[in-house]
Amino acid sequence: MQEIAYTAKAQPRIACLDGVRFLAVGSVIIQHYWFLKTPVIGIDFGKAGVDLFLSLSGFLITSQLMTRYQPQNGIARAYFSFWLARSFRIIPLVVLAMIFLSLFPINKPAAFYLYNLTFAHNFYTAQTGGYLPYTGHFWTLGVEMQFYAVFPFIFWCLPRGKRAAGLTILMAVLWALTPVVNHFLNLKSPQVLLHAMAAPLLMGAILAAIESDELRKSAARAMLVFGLIFCAGRALAMTIVGGTPWPEELNCFLYAGIVGSVPYYPLASRVLSLPPITFIGRISYGIYVWHLVVIVLQPYLPTAVQSPFVMLAITMLFSVSSWYLVEVPLNRMGHRLARRLAEARPLPTSSRVSEPSPEPARASSAAPRPGAAIAVSE
């Protein structure tokens, strides 16, 4: 009897990818705490951080679908095992943030809690063009959860060995159709919906879906070089003439290139694997969630200490506390429950999916495959 491939123990963690998280959350903090919404040399640091997060998320989630959740024993069980683990990772901190905000008399729309707890903030922003107070950044969590809802089915339906090509075609189609879809939707801010934010997610997924280490390494470096050239040209054009005809979405090549290339560059890998950097990377989800939520405390602080540095210190306090008290124990619980679901009695034969067993791993002298070493805390 075939079973769903589920890794019971944490696999070796690629520390430098936690360093990538550090870069992403640092970009968001810089934008929100210091530069607000004003791009610097043509770079919107907040958007850059979000796209880097999404590229990494697409890479890691695809890696997990290839190694930990495989549907030989039924798509339904693999899907719900995946969703159970992701829900325990994402939802508790959002619920905790909502409980925290409920303690304060803030001016908020009637559906404030509904939009946030159902991860529909991006729908609110698309319809109204605005953001909910203290949780304006939660629209990205909506994009991620919606991606988790549909992507596993798309990925599993693609033939093994052709998944990277299939995802590339899907990204190209979405990229071409997005302006048309946005026009017919006639919304104020359709750019925050999943179809419009799919590029960084799919670029990361494409790199993870490439089974050859050498081909993945080459693809990641090509993305990195193209992204660097484009971003440098865009920054130069924004500085000199104040505008550029190139779409900002092309920046995603740089972010996906960073995700895919860092493990293969020893110096970058070592720097991003330094313990202080990797620790901040590990708690980056908490930092991201709390960094605007804690601003609700600002009116209660003495005027002399109402500075970005103080808010950052408060954010770190909340993030470290929630990491050890909430995220770590519940994340472990989620993976235990997901494993039990995967190891339960098999579903009826009619619900199984016929798919060839994965090939045995081949020894390689290349850098460790980024997609094959994901700790359970992802």
Query: How does residue 230 score in pLDDT terms, banded at 50, 70 and 90?
Result: confident
Integer angstrom CA distances of residue 182 from 111, 143, 378: 25, 16, 32
pLDDT tier at 241 (50, 70, 90 boundaries)? confident
The 10 Å Cβ neighbour count of residue 153 is 11
Closest listed residue to residue 6, CA positions, set 331, 342, 356, 369: 342
Q: What is the pLDDT of residues 104-149, one digit of tens each?
A: 999 988 899 999 999 999 999 999 999 999 999 999 999 999 999 9
Q: In angstroms, rounded to a whole number, what is the distance separating the alpha carbons of residues 13 and 373?
A: 6
CA distance 216 to 198: 20
pLDDT over threshold 50, residue 350: no
Measured distance CA(251)–CA(246) in Å, rounded = 10
Give residue-wise pLDDT tens across range 85-95.
999 999 999 99
**What is the amino acid identity at position 144?**
E
Pull the structure tokens for residue 28: 């968001």
Alpha carbon distance 145, 131 (integer Å): 18
Q: Are 138 and 121 in contact (CB under 8 A)?
A: yes
Cα-based distances in Å from 212 to 186, 215, 367:
42, 5, 12
Beta bridge mates, 43: 40
Q: Which of 57, 92, 16, 11 shows the shortest CA–CA distance to 278?
A: 16
Alpha helices in the chain (DSSP H): 15-30, 45-67, 75-101, 112-117, 121-128, 139-157, 163-185, 198-209, 213-240, 252-261, 266-272, 275-282, 284-293, 308-322, 328-342
Q: Does 208 have pLDDT greater than 50?
A: yes
Which stretch of 237-241, 306-310, 352-356 has the lowest confidence by average pLDDT?
352-356
Which residues are CB-contacts of 259 (< 8 A; sequence separation ≥ 6)?
17, 20, 52, 55, 56, 59, 204, 207, 220, 370
Count the helix, strand and coil residues of the chain and give each as a percent rounded to the nearest 5.
70, 0, 30
The C-alpha atoms of residue 60 and residue 372 are separated, in whole angstroms, by 9
Tell which residue, 234, 220, 200, 201, has the closest CA to residue 369.
220
Q: What does the pLDDT average to over 70-83?
A: 86
| pTM score | 0.86
**Cβ 203 vs Cβ 240: under 8 Å:** no
Give the model's pLDDT for residue 41.
Answer: 58
